[in-house]
Amino acid sequence: MKLTITQIKFHRNGITGEPFHAVLFTDPTEGDMLGIVFDAKAHVAVFNLERLASGDIGFKCNCWRGDLYEPYLRKALKQLEAERMQP
For the chain, domains (ranges, CATH) are 4-81 (3.10.450)
On whether the CB atoms of residues 13 and 20 are closer than 8 A, the answer is yes
Collect contacts of 32-35 with beta carbons under 8 A, ≥24 apart: 32/6, 33/64, 33/69, 35/66, 35/69, 35/73
- Note the pLDDT of residue 20: 96
> What share of the chain in percent tops pLDDT 70?
100
H or E segment and range at residue 76: helix 66-85
Query: Could you report the per-residue pLDDT of 9-39, keeping only the tens digit for each?
Result: 999 988 899 999 999 999 999 999 999 999 9
- Note the pLDDT of residue 76: 95
Q: Are strands 31-38 and 20-27 parallel, antiparallel or unpaired?
A: antiparallel
Count the alpha carbons within 13 Å of 10 in the hemisphere toward its beta carbon: 9
- Note the pLDDT of residue 70: 98
